[in-house]
Amino acid sequence: MAHFIKFQLFIWLTILGTSCSLIGINFTYKTPKKPGKYPTFKEEDYLLGSNSELRKSFDVTYYDINLDLDVKHKKINGYVDIHFLMKDRETPLQNTALVDTLQLDLHQNLQIDAIVFQNDTLKYVRKYNTLFVLFEKQIPKNQVYQMRIYYNGSPMKAKRPPWEGGFVWKKDDNNNPWVSVACQDQGAHIWFPLKDHLSDEPDSVRFSMTVPKGLFCVSNGKLVEQTKMEEKEKFVWRTSYPINTYNISFYVGDYVRFTLPYNNKGVKRELEFYVLSYDLDIARSQFKQAVEVVEFYENTLAPFPWWNDGYKMVESPFMGMEHQTAIAYGNKFQNTYGPIDYIILHETGHEWWGNSVSAGDNAEMFLHEGFTTFMDAFFMEQKMGYDFYLRMMRFQYGIVVQNKRPLVGPRDVNYSNYKDSDPYMKGALMLHTLRNILNDDQLFINILKTYYNRHQYSIVTTTDFIKVVNELTGKDYQWFFDQYVYSRVCPQLEWNLTYDTSKQEYVLKYRWKNVGNQFILPIVVETNYGNITINPTADVQQKAIKEFGNLRINPNFSFISMKQNKKL
């Protein structure tokens, strides 16, 4: 998701250079004394966030969403067919002799007209935004069923999309309706009934929307039907891959379509774009960057994961979102990331990190945002050079790291805080530091590629990544992830530099603070006469240096804090 930080600031910061030349002075990260607080979680948070047995007992295979959009009254009306596979209960449920229950989710703003199952109208219970569907008898396992939910109402309006999501009702510059939805943090239940848990992605989705005549509706996947009526027009889109439910979206407006050719290693394809009619010319120029970004990812990581559905970017009435195969773009056709449009770069990257390899709980959203943010910088390194990449790590990412909470947050409560930049920036710095430790880019990229290809189209956890790192390095890096992922505390390197007159040499003393017993991060010390690598521990160590000219500790900006301690 596009972050709230003003990325234009980066352009000015990068011209400042990468380091200071004074002895021992360098950029350093901090750990606040007080940790950040989590909110007090309520019953409704656990109902929405936990993968309860009333959810685990069924697997959604397909959503068929059919809606009529009432632009004038800002309402929706229609039905959703939910196809699901019944599975075994992990433990017996009480009081299920006559009634079995499944948990779905639908925002309380929306009214249910009926729930139909096998020609019967089912009873249901609503609590907060949770919907408990009651069956008159037990449903046999290992079979696929279909349930239809008719509903209508005024969906929640977005306060600050995409971060505080909901429906976005706007007018374009020609006073035409411009409507969309963003719901990454809140969940898709704000606009249609579903099993709203990240661990369950449908295998495919059909989306049908009827809109006022003269408007065009864009959604995920391929356009498979377009039907004109007297005063309305119906558009039907279909995906052929698994999809995060918060990525299911639509855009309604005065859209025109164009394509750009894409040819990578002799394979010819097209990239597809939908923009407001008056932005066609500027979009044709700006969106050429998408060709370069897709090619970078394909050559660095793996083929674009959704070619059967195609690559599509859609001008949106909010900054941006990684809606699978229908990426939201609202950056006003400007380069805000050095010479690159940040939204094109970052949201396209999510097609790999987040959409294809997906976290099963918001607690591990850094697996989406941190990996994509790192790849933003790695892309810029290929384009602008390693020094530019380092500047990004130092300024763009380093100045906004908060270190108030661990990267992995509380589970089972659907917790997300868009004001916390650490899943983005600290996640990227964690990967950057791992790259520094390995000191072998071929190995590092192989780790990313192996992790991605092994878990493409699947749900992952941090442990899955750790396993790949340990496997390909032949070492146990649990200590690294314990420090940088599961702890909020930034390792602190205490150091002091003195001159030994008897030996006519400088002595650099150093030790770690705020680390576990197994912490073994090597640190580079740069001098005018070559680099030195030190391996600090919790005990004070020292290194003799004959000559150094200018000396910089940690010139490659591994994610550590530094403090001069003259008592060492």
Residue-wise pLDDT for 500-533, tens only, equals 899 889 999 999 999 988 899 999 999 888 899 9
Secondary structure letter of residue 175 according to DSSP: S
Query: Which helix (H) or strand (E) is 359 found in, with range?
Result: strand 357-359
When the pLDDT of each residue in the chain is averaged and rounded to a whole number, the result is 92
**pLDDT tens for each residue of 161-204:** 999 999 999 999 999 999 999 999 999 999 999 999 999 999 99
Residues 254-281 have pLDDT tens digits of: 999 999 999 999 999 999 999 999 999 9
Give residue-wise pLDDT tens across range 396-449: 777 889 999 999 999 999 999 989 999 999 999 999 999 999 999 999 999 999
- What is the Cα–Cα distance from 533 to 306, expressed in whole angstroms? 44
**pLDDT tens for each residue of 58-70:** 999 999 999 999 9
Fold of 51-253: Immunoglobulin-like (2.60.40)
Listing DSSP states for 211-223 in one string gives: EETT-EEEESSEE
403, 31 Cβ separation under 8 angstroms:
yes
329 to each of 114, 249, 319, how far by Cα in Å?
36, 13, 6
> What pLDDT does 89 receive?
63
At 376, the amino acid letter reads: D
Of the chain, the percentage scoring pLDDT greater than 70 comes to 93
Q: What percent of the chain has pLDDT over 90?
A: 83
Distances from the Cα of 140 to the Cαs of 61, 88, 102, in angstroms?
17, 9, 13
Q: Which of 366, 375, 380, 373 is nearest to 398 (CA)?
A: 373
What's the CA gap between 247 and 369, in Å, rounded? Answer: 15
Q: What's the confidence (pLDDT) of residue 344? A: 98
- What's the pLDDT score for residue 91? 56
DSSP class per residue in 405-468: S-SS--SSS----TT--HHHHHHHHHHHHHHHHHT-HHHHHHHHHHHHHHSTTEEE-HHHHHHH
288-305: average pLDDT:
98
Judging by DSSP bridges, how do beta strands 204-212 and 58-70 pair with one another?
parallel
CATH of 8-20+361-484, one of 3.30.1360.170, 1.20.200.10, 1.10.390.10, 3.30.1330.10: 1.10.390.10
pLDDT for residue 464? 98
Residue 391 has pLDDT above 50, yes or no: yes
Helix (H/G/I), strand (E/B), else coil: 292: helix
pLDDT digits (tens, 9 = 90+) for 342-390: 999 999 999 999 999 999 999 999 999 999 999 999 999 999 999 999 9
Q: Where are the domains of the chain?
A: 8-20+361-484, 51-253, 265-349
The type of residue at 288 is: K
**How big is the chain, counted in residues?**
568
What integer is the mean pLDDT of 225-243? 97
* Rounded Cα distance, 380 and 338, in Å: 9
Contact criterion met (CB below 8 Å) for 312 and 259:
no
Class of domain 265-349: alpha beta
Report the C-alpha gap between 229 and 508 in whole angstroms.
79
Chain-centroid distance of CA 340 in Å reads: 19
Distances (CA, A) of 183 to 19, 161, 364: 40, 8, 17
The first and second tokens of residue 15, run together, are 């011209």
Q: Looking at the predicted structure, is the pLDDT value of residue 93 above 70?
A: no
The answer, yes or no, to whether residue 568 has pLDDT greater than 50, is yes
Q: Write the pLDDT tens digit of every residue in 471-497.
A: 999 999 999 999 999 999 999 999 999
Contact indicator for 452, 395 with CB cutoff of 8 Å: no
Is the preceding omega at residue 39 within 30 degrees of 0, hence cis?
Answer: no
